[in-house]
Structure 1
Amino acid sequence: MDLSLAVLSGDGIGPEITAATLHVVAAAERRFGLGLRLSEHPVGVAALAATGSTFPAETAAAIKAADGVILAPVDTYAYPAGQPNPSAIVRKSLDLFANIRPAVARLPAARRRAEIDLVMYRENTEGFYADRNMFDGSAEFLATEDVALAVRKITREASTRIAREAFRAAARRRGLVTAVHKANVLKRSDGLFLEAVRAVASEFPEVRLEEVIVDAMAAHLVRDAARFDVVVTTNMFGDILSDEAGELAGGLGLAPALNAGSDHAVAQAVHGSAPDIAGEGIANPAALILSAALLLRWLGERHATSALVDAAGAIEGAVDAALADPAAHTRDLGGTATTMVFAERVANALKD
């Protein structure tokens, strides 16, 4: 296969963890002969300085032409008013309706805290997010200087397609989907979401469906995360709960994610750009490395290419091998290893 990956290095620690991730991808390329063509494109603060936009037209064209995208964290707080959020634009322009966030306890301490092995399917295009709900403009506005309003958008179409992806995943895993909602209060919007999920459930008789209210779900994750397999929910609930699950699984430095649609997918770690440690070379690159593995698996399944699927599994195994050595732990895991030391350990493990 001759596949192209667009690489967007982002802000803050983004360039550092991107370099580490590309080092690991290069090691996978050497071992598996993946035929990947990588090209880097500007976004964020660096793009603003060079082009006057945090998301220039050249980058927009590149991501649409690419087979996959690796997107590092961006620091939207640092952007001047009116500058676009690259993450939101990528998700909207490529119609990446599924935000897929696995949470797996990879460290012994995390396994003692929670035997967690779940994957969260978060609807990614609407919900409470004001930048994704309107044809034009924002769904958040001031009625008066003292009254702020926001519109939540839930559609049957979006709810159905994220539910279908969740049930397909559960059919390959342990056969349980947990739909998280607040339909006891948000009767129309979450009620519509649940209607769509129940309709999809009828297509998968081999998969069991349970329904859990979102505040109860937050408690259940702490109490007994092992009971969950595949979780499906709306945008903001999924954003919050997946961070909780990621922390239970060992921390956001180990929390990968894939934004997937019908035709495109983007590897993007759950965590942010951490500007407070940018440039120090101490950020944990594991989440972005694991996100890249998710992207390779998605591409491999889409193109029926076993080498890509094998490479994804090998990268995940190599990350586990590196994590088994405390000398490779970065500061967030209680160690002293640098970003590139961790990446080199993963790359070396890939040789085996």
Structure 2
Amino acid sequence: MAQMKLLVLPGDGIGPEIAAATETVVEAAANRFGIDLTLTRGEIGFVSLDQHGTTITDDVIAAAKDADGVILGPVSHNAYPPVAEGGRNPSGVLRRELELYANIRPARSRPAVPRPVTAEIDLVVVRENLEGFYADRNMASGPGEIMVEPGVAIALRKVTTKGSRRIAEAAFDLVEGRSRKRIAVVHKSNVMRLSDGLFLEEVRAVAKNHPGIDYEEILVDAAAAHLVRDPSRFDVIVTTNMFGDILSDLASELSGGLGLAASLNLGPAFAVAQAQHGSAPDIAGQDRANPTSLIGSAAMLLRHLDQPQAADAIEAALDDAMSDEATRTKDLGGRLGTRDFAAAVAAHVVG
């Protein structure tokens, strides 16, 4: 019997509700496939701030490193107090502490879910996760933005050979396991010649080791246009942090919405499942949140932890539950709230 220890960090807003729903489904999969599962909880966000004076404690970080994987709920970091008053972004902290350099974001259309385009979508955005413009992760100390004088702000973007090379390797490893074996490298090196030029140079070097892959390079603005016009042309997209964040959200909306979009953060030794969407405080505590994104992310985590049968069962159960109006969530025109939808998915998992 395989043993597995997962840490659940519910987070803010709807986080506790969708985390509980995800636990229900993961436990059902563990029971069916003989996984000796231990689920432990840790507090982050406002609960942790109230209890410990910080939104994420050193003990939680240590627990994340001790677990086989982490299920991370959404956080309301924009509403936190300044960092000096304990308001750190738990998601950003875990990215740095666990060296989660790759953010894997699939977008897949589901037959029973309405979407704004007719084309079938089955793609993955592989997003560099530790560099770029984002202030919470691109410098060793201090933010990546400075106000040099009133009315003049400057943002610093960090792109490294190491970061570019390893995200390219992660993307090519992923595409080798897919049937279409196509990869699109998204960049803006015609304008950001040094930073995106460095990124592109490293991706090209990795591509030489994968001669069987259908390889293309495409500017980010053209990639956005092609995603809207014909998303079926894409298989795997690899790109830098901010471009990946934007394009993956676009792809997820085109395939049915962010509420359905799974995401996995990967590093050399650790993995964190995380919903693509935010904490939605306006519907928190109302049993209205669709937990599909976090449940799907947990399935990705199980697959990464060498439990493909459990992952397949969860993904199939999500499709089954969403195919029937009686077992869909209300945001998809169904009747169920968060808890009952989780129960329906778990029932499909068990079979």
Q: Does 1:50 align with 2:51?
A: yes
The one-letter amino acid of 2:205's match is: A
Corresponding residue SS for 1:259: strand
Task: Tell me, in whole angstroms, the C-alpha distance in 1 between the residues paired with 2:187 and 2:66.
Answer: 36
Letter paired with 1:12: G
2:314 match: 315
Tell me the equivalent position of 2:25.
Answer: 24
1:12–1:274 Cα contact (<8 Å) kept: yes
Question: How many angstroms apart in 1 are the aligned matches of 2:47 and 2:335?
Answer: 29
Equivalent AA in structure 2 for residue 19 of structure 1: A
Q: Is 1:107–1:323's contact at 8 Å kept on the other side of the alignment?
A: no
Q: Does 1:110 align with 2:110?
A: no
| Aligned mates of 1:62, 1:72 — CA distance in 2 | 16
Counterpart CA distance in 2 for 1:257 and 1:112 is 22
- 1:329, 1:336 → 2: CA distance? 6
- Deviates further, 108-117 or 176-185: 108-117
Deviation at 1:335, TM superposition (A): 2.7
1:206 to 212, 222, 225: 212
Change (3 A) 1:104 1:111: farther
RMSD of aligned Cα (Å): 1.1
- Asked whether the 8 Å contact 1:11–1:72 carries over to 2, the reply is yes
Query: d(CA) in 2 for partners of 1:16 and 1:299?
Result: 24
Give the whole-Å Cα distance in 2 for the aligned partners of 1:3 and 1:344: 22
TM alignment of 1:61-140, pairs within 5 A: 61-82=62-83, 83-108=87-112, 109-110=114-115, 113-140=118-145
Deviation digits for residues 166-191 of structure 1 (CA, Å, limit 9, x no counterpart):
11111111111100011111111001
Residue 166 of structure 2 is matched in structure 1 by 161
Deviation, structure 1 residue 91: 0.7
Q: Deviations over 1:293-339 (max 9, x none)?
A: 00000011xxxxxxx11000000000000010112222322333101
Identity rate, percent: 56
Q: Return the match for 1:281 from 284, 287, 293.
A: 287
Please give the alpha-carbon distance, in whole angstroms, between the structure 1 residues aligned to 2:111 and 2:279: 23
Match of 1:247 among 253, 260, 270: 253
Q: CA deviation at 1:267?
A: 0.2
Deviation at 1:112?
5.8
Could you say what secondary structure the match of 1:236 adopts? helix
Task: Determine if the alignment matches structure 1 residue 220 to structure 2 residue 226.
Answer: yes
Provide Cα deviations, 1:121-157, integer angstroms capped at 9, x if missing partner. Answer: 0000001111211111111111012111110000111
Task: For 1:179 and 1:58, locate their aligned partners in 2 and report how far apart those are by CA, in whole Å.
Answer: 39
Contact 1:105 1:111 in 2 (8 A): no
Query: TM (normalized to structure 2)?
Result: 0.96
Deviation (angstroms), 1:111: 8.8
Deviations 1:184-238 (A, max 9, x none): 1111100111001100000001112101110111110011101110000000000
CA contact (8 A) 1:113 1:248 kept: no
Is the Cα contact below 8 Å between 1:114 and 1:248 reproduced in 2?
no
* Alpha-carbon spacing, 1:107–1:49, altered in 2? closer, same or farther (3 Å): farther
**Quick one: which amino acid aligns to residue 95 of structure 1?**
E
- Structure 1 letter corresponding to 2:176: A
2:35 aligns to what SS in structure 1?
A: coil
Could you state the TM-score of these two structures normalised by the residue count of structure 1? 0.96
SS at match of 1:12: coil
Q: Which amino acid aligns with 2:143?
A: S
8 Å contact from structure 1 (residues 107, 250) kept in 2:
no
Structure 1 residue ranges, 4+ long, deviating more than 6 angstroms after superposition: none
Structure 2, unaligned stretches of length 5 or more? none
CA deviations over 1:28-77 (Å, ceiling 9, x no partner): 11101111211100100011111111001211110011110000000002
Q: Distance in 1 between matches of 2:111 and 2:90?
A: 32
Q: Is 1:60–2:61 an aligned residue pair?
A: yes
TM-superposed deviation, 1:262: 1.1
Note if 1:147 corresponds to 2:152: yes
Give 2:275's aligned residue.
269
For these two proteins, the number of residue pairs brought into alignment is 345
